[in-house]
Structure 1
Amino acid sequence: MRRRLINSTLAVVLVVIAVFGVSLVIVETRTISSSAQESVDSEAVRLVSIVDSRLLGGDNITAKVLSEQIDQTRYARIEIPGRPVVQIGERPTGSVIRGKATGEEGETVIVEEARSSVTREVGRTLLIIGAVALLAVIAAVLLAVRQANKLASPLTDLAETAERLGSGDPRPRHKRYGVPELDRVADVLDSSAERIARMLTAERRLAADASHQLRTPLTALSMRLEEISATDDLESVKEEAMVALTQVERLTDVVERLLTNARDPRTGSAVAFDLDEVVKQQIEEWRPAYRSAGRAIVCSGRQGMRAVGTPGAVAQVLAALIENSLMHGGGTVALRTRVTGNQAVIEVTDEGPGVPADLGARIFERTISGRNSTGIGLAVARDLAEADGGRLELLQQQPPVFALFLSREARNRKASKSPERPVR
């Protein structure tokens, strides 16, 4: 591209120089020739006037007297009737420029100049024109190279940016070149880079969330299957198989929920559901894990509440809190349901050391963890709660108390108080 730009610019300059240069040479040549002719004619007229004045005064007309009145490079011939011819200077040979004038006394003055002087003047003019043309060509080449670099370098940068995007590096460069068309292309590439970066971030986030959220249901399912394989009681096998099937359904719901949040985190499928069923389900699923760890998990509080949300999402939030207590807490884990205003609240607490003071305000941020874990579980749980119009908060750091707030079903807000659930 650089070569094309330089060649095209140079071609335009050469055409302009050729057109205007030839015209200028023709005009200058004619001007110089006309000027030389006028000068010779003027010389003849001036000389004939001098001769007239001397003739009228009775002076002698000699070459010595008139030699000082004429250019030394020219030749003059003065013809006076009845007198000898007077010649001044050396008569040129070859082509000449001739001027002739006749006086009042009948005398004739002829002035001649060698045309070579005009040729030399034309040559000097052509040399000047040629030098100016050469300077114009050099300036055009330098300008063409500069413009070619100014246009080609941004295109090279844009090509490198596009190649980086294709190779998986979506960082925008935010570099502009002062050329509106190229800056427009750069804007589009930067916008594309930002969109690709957001897409890659969403994909990585989906992969991290999926790996974290699926690990717990798969672990619980694995424990159920182990219990089925270790027992010979048909009733127990049927019961554990039903629980396992429920866990598979939850696993499917987890996958669908993650995909839905990946497409649009605000998309929810909130419905009215029985909160007791979700709490009971989580207690049954996590009790074997707590039993294996020598710990207990219990629930208490208000019964018969119906909340508005996505049952699968609420189950995932509770699973994240229960798993967090299992991994980082201690003692008995308690789930307590209560009512505050028009909201149903599920609190999860344990007897462990709690949340460090420096992490209290950042505990729901991604990658934030006090025990070298992934730091994803609570962040995902908060996103799931907010997607259904609820919220997840840390009410107390020591001992830790996490609370999930959900909207209650409208008809339940006017119902009479349900009995407290005993600790189980």
Structure 2
Amino acid sequence: MRSRLLSSTLTVVLVVVVLLGVPLGVIQARSIESRARDHLQVESQQLASNVELWLENRVPVEPQRLARQLRPDQYAVVRIPGRPPIAVGTPPREDDVLAARGVGAHGETVELVQGREDIEREIQAFWLLILAASLFATASAAGLTLLQARRITGPLADLVRAAERLGSGDPKPRRRHYGIPELDRVAEVLDSSGERIARMITAERRLAADASHQLRTPLTALSMRLEEIIATDDPQIVKEEAAIALSQVERLTDVVQRLLNESRERQADSAVQVDVDDVVHQQIEEWRPAFRKADRRLKVRGEPGLRAVATPGALAQVLACLLENALMHGKGSVTVRTRRLSDWVVVEVADEGPGVPPELGNRIFERAVSGRNSTGLGLAVARDLAEADGGRLELLQLRPPVFAIFLNAYEARLDTSGGAHGS
């Protein structure tokens, strides 16, 4: 990453230098040459005026007197009507020279020629200045880029280590802040994920320990009853032992149900604030290609900005189950609608198909119950996931079918928690 930042920054700086430095150098070179031509023209006209003044005052126009008016790199030819031309100075050797012509009031002319050495030196000095400024800007940009890269790559490497530690089973939050809002947000999400994983691991371990402890006695008693049945041939004893075994099975069922309820309550406590729009739009984007392939529309309606208390992954799984059912068993357009109902946030999924047969009704959520050729487990698992977060999944309408996910509104959860705490 550091090398990519450096290369991209240097590329930008070089492009800026070329786009600004080269035109600036060309413009300045032309400006220097233009100023030199203007100055030479002024000097030639000044020299012509001096020659005119000398002639009016009957002062001899001699080469020595003219030479004192010229710079060492200049060459002049003075022409006076009725007299031979007077040349002063050494003619430049270069073909590319600057020339100017001054004219007096009585026809006197002065042709002034100057070499370009001073002009070229001034232009070269300016190009060297641009080059030095470009090198300084490039070096400064490279230094700042390396400092910024070090400021970014350090926290990124730390976040990578935190993610690896989270994946290895160490969910302890670190509460790190790096001074970069985006990276701080990533760190907060990792910490909150670590806390949820820690709660889930604790709940799973507690469930395993409770199940091991509470199921041992009913299983032992049931095993003893079955052994008694196997060991006897008396039908009356078999009947009595079978009745006792059935009571043990009921007790075992109650224990399992209680453990599951406790696990769901703990899981509901680990739910977090969820932006319902984020989950809905994420599922819409995932399922839109499948609906488009089936030449069916997938629409979103309702109130935006709703927040609920849920597990994001579980809510997404429940919504995915409803969308899959609508795609497999429904017809026409499928509409996902969000709304607020008292202390609930409701997510409805409706299609234009034949719906659920009346003889099934709410039995559609029971395991192994299906109105089509399917396993009948999807809706049952979806209802369990919804209930685990303290919500519920219901069939609001048979034809056309309308399924609804009821979630605790985040604001209502805060009010309830605050009231309980205050009492």
* TM range, smaller chain: 0.5 to 0.7
| Map of 1:23 onto structure 2 | 23
* SS state at 1:187 partner: helix
2:301 corresponds to = none
Q: Deviations over 1:309-364 (max 9, x none)?
A: xxxxxxxxxxxxxxxxxxxxxxxxxxxxxxxxxxxxxxxxxxxxxxxxxxxxxxxx
Q: Which residues in structure 2 correspond to 1:3-82 (within 5 Å)?
A: 3-82=3-82
Aligned to 1:96: 97
Per-residue CA shift, 1:81-130, capped at 9, x if unaligned? Answer: 34454443322211211111011132211211112322222111111111
Q: CA deviation at 1:66?
A: 3.4
Give the whole-Å Cα distance in 2 for the aligned partners of 1:173 and 1:245: 52
Shift of 1:54: 2.0
Give distance in 2, aligned partners of 1:85 and 1:236. 152
Q: Which amino acid aligns with 1:264?
A: E
**Partner SS state of residue 93, structure 1:** coil
**1:71 is paired with a residue of what secondary structure?**
coil
Counterpart residue identity of residue 192, structure 2: S
Taking the aligned partners of 1:265 and 1:240, their CA distance within structure 2 comes to 37
Q: Report the equivalent of 1:108.
A: 109
SS in 1 for 2:98: strand
Structure number with the bigger relative contact order (C-alpha 8 A, sep ≥ 6) is 1
Letter of the 1:36 partner, please give it.
A
- Partner of 1:106, secondary structure, is coil
- Matched to 2:61, the amino acid is I
For residues 278-318 of structure 1, give each alpha carbon's deviation from its aligned partner in whole angstroms, at most 9, with x where no partner exists: xxxxxxxxxxxxxxxxxxxxxxxxxxxxxxxxxxxxxxxxx
User: How many corresponding residue pairs?
Assistant: 266
By how many angstroms is 1:58 displaced? 1.9
SS of the counterpart of 1:92?
Answer: coil
* TM-score normalized by the length of structure 2: 0.52
Show the 5 A alignment for 1:237-256.
Answer: 250=251, 252-256=253-257
- Structure 1 match to 2:208: 207
**C-alpha displacement at 1:26, in angstroms?**
1.5
Match of 2:197 in 1: 196
* Structure 2 Cα separation of the partners of residues 199 and 14 of structure 1: 53
In 1, the alpha carbon distance for the partners of 2:106 and 2:67 equals 20
Tell me the residue number matched to 2:335. none
Where do 1:9-408 residues align within 5 Å? 9-94=9-94, 95-213=96-214, 250=251, 252-264=253-265
Matches of 1:134 and 1:91 in 2, distance apart? 40
Q: CA 1:266 to 1:51, structure 2 compared with 1: closer, same or farther past 3 Å?
A: closer
**What TM-score do you get using the length of structure 1 for normalisation?**
0.52
Distance in 2 separating the partners of 1:175 and 1:62: 90
SS of 2:172 mapped into structure 1? coil
Q: Which is greater in Rg?
A: 1
Separation in structure 2 between the aligned mates of residue 265 and residue 221 of structure 1, nearest angstrom = 30
Separation in structure 2 between the aligned mates of residue 239 and residue 96 of structure 1, nearest angstrom:
129
Q: Distance in 1 between matches of 2:7 and 2:267?
A: 58
Counterpart-to-counterpart distance in 1, 2:251 and 2:122? 103
> Deviation string for 1:144-189 (max 9, x for gaps)?
3334444444443333332222211212233344444444433332
TM-aligned CA distance change 1:83 to 1:266, over 3 Å: closer
What is the aligned partner in structure 2 of residue 419 from structure 1?
Answer: none
Q: Whole-Å Cα distance in 2 between the matches of residues 85 and 27 of structure 1?
A: 38
Residue 78 of structure 2 contacts residue 85 of structure 2 at CA under 8 Å; is this kept in 1? yes
Structure 2 Cα separation of the partners of residues 196 and 175 of structure 1 = 18
Change (3 A) 1:101 1:162: same
- Structure 1 position 245, deviation (Å): 7.6
How far has the Cα of 1:259 moved from its partner?
2.8
CA RMSD in angstroms, aligned pairs only: 3.9
Q: CA deviation at 1:193?
A: 1.6
Higher deviation after alignment, 248-257 or 122-131: 248-257
> Identity over the aligned pairs, expressed in percent?
52
Distance in 2 separating the partners of 1:74 and 1:194: 87
Note the C-alpha offset of 1:216. 6.9
Distance 1:250 1:109 in 2: 126
In 1, the alpha carbon distance for the partners of 2:120 and 2:48 equals 27
Q: Secondary structure at the match of 1:69?
A: coil
Unaligned runs of 5+ in 1: 227-234, 268-424
1:52/1:169 Cα in 2 relative to 1: closer, same or farther (>3 Å)? same
Q: Shift of residue 265 of structure 1?
A: 5.7
Q: Name the SS of the counterpart of 2:19 in structure 1.
A: helix
Letter in 1 for 2:65: V
Question: What is the DSSP-based 3-state SS (H/G/I as helix, E as strand, rest coil) of the residue aligned with 2:37?
Answer: helix
Give the distance between the partners of 2:53 and 2:205, measured in 1 at CA. 112
User: What is the Cα deviation at residue 30 of structure 1?
Assistant: 1.0
CA distance in structure 2 between the aligned counterparts of 1:215 and 1:60, rounded to whole angstroms: 136
* Counterpart-to-counterpart distance in 1, 2:267 and 2:158: 39
Shift of 1:19: 1.9
Alignment map for 1:403-414 (pairs within 5 Å): none
In structure 2, relative to structure 1, the CA distance for the partners of 1:265 and 1:155 (3 Å cut) is closer
Specify whether residues 211 and 65 from structure 1 end up closer, same or farther in structure 2 by C-alpha distance, changes over 3 A only. Answer: same
